[in-house]
Chain A
Amino acid sequence: MKGLLKYIEKIKPNFEQGGKYEKWHSIFESFETFLFVPGVTTPKKGAHIRDAMDSKRLMSVVVIALIPALLFGMWNTGYQHFLALGETAGFMQEFIHGLIKVLPIVLVSYIAGLGTEFIFVYIKKKEIEEGFLVSGLLIPLIVPVGIPLWMVAVATIIAVVIGKEVFGGTGMNIVNPALLTRAILFFSYPSKMSGDKIWVSGLDNGMVVSDAYSGATPLAQAASTSSEQLTEHGFKFFNGLEKESVTFFDMFMGWIPGSIGETSTLMILIGAAILLYTGVASWKIMFSGLVGAILMGLIFNMFATDTNPFMALPFYDHLVLGGFAFGLVFMATDPVTAAQTEKGKWIYGFLVGFIAILVRVLNPAYPEGMMLAILLMNVFSPLIDYYVVRGNVKKRLKRMSA
């Protein structure tokens, strides 16, 4: 570390005004402040205190919180692959297979997104903010492993440009760029974002699989359960191999097919603990989102009919299936796009959970409601804030006149 700092200090003058590489100052600055806390301190006479905790440090916390889900996702990718093949493999073999599959997606997302970001920073002659650090890691975690890399690149670039840069860059976007990337992928290339073939690596390349293997995610299985099957044995989930059923515990632990980082609720909870302990994410949003989802699940359970057997899925299963947990912990709590007011956070979180389950159950076109529910609340969070602020203004005016 010391050596690195020394090196940076050594080459720094080249990038200062009048230096050799003056043009590249913004990009040098970005790397410097990413690696080390900027060496600027409050002047002696300032009325404010400059905290060492800036947005880059804040975002590194989120990145650390994402690591458990990422590592588990890598292992799970390999595990599902060998399960589909019908072979047994060791832990390391599975992990390395997953690493080979997942790492390129991570790299492509970072290179495409950061590249776009740097171009904009360069044109605007601004220093880069926390930039793309978190989004770049979120994107690989919410796509299926079978996605072609060029699609990731295209969608990432589009999302960064129209979702973020045109609004003025970091901190000013109205929708979460990672979610927008997924939405763009989902609506532009639906065949690569849904179905049974894409969740397990190698399955869409015509890999020879063992008998009776289906790569459907448990969420898709729940959605396609017919009323006859339901009356016969209730909801049953299969772990790819039709014979082996998975329990609630398996789905909680996450060894099921799904998007790379979304399957393991346990790993997401570890991430949530890190986020809540450091105070980076809002517990209000997570809690009220959970309440909203449970409430909607209970309402559906109460009014379950034969025409839509999916309504009978117990509410606690909704919480561990699909991207619900991941979305609620890492996406809905994005401090930029969520509601900013404290009261607004309760409303925002509640509606995210509520709409997610609503769309999941009632909309046969989309197996996963979480992505769209968060996007929808992202665009309406300014409105929630507006009314919360208005209400407060009114209350205080009343108090003043009284």
Chain B
Amino acid sequence: MVPVSHVLALSVILFGLGAAGFIVRRNIITIFMCIELMLNAVNLAFIAFSRYLGDPDGQIFVFFVIVVAAAEAAMGLAIIIAVQRNRQTLSIDDLDSMKL
């Protein structure tokens, strides 16, 4: 039996890695992947608590998080394509204005 604190520790480390990558990377696609990493870490914590409480509600929440992540990925990647087409760059250092 795996203790819940082990799973939570793994979730915390994954979230920290995602947060660090979010700040440190310059390529906007990699930054987007770091967001997915953080979302997955949170899902892991939800499922650990769902198992701990013996209640499926945590898994329902994870389901909705995945739905929102799918919507976010579709929108975000469309925006990335639009930005790439208009600015010919994906480095966030060059993408500092709101105008396309």
Do A and B interact? no
On B, residues with C-beta under 8 Å from A are none
- Interface of A with B (CB < 8 Å)? none
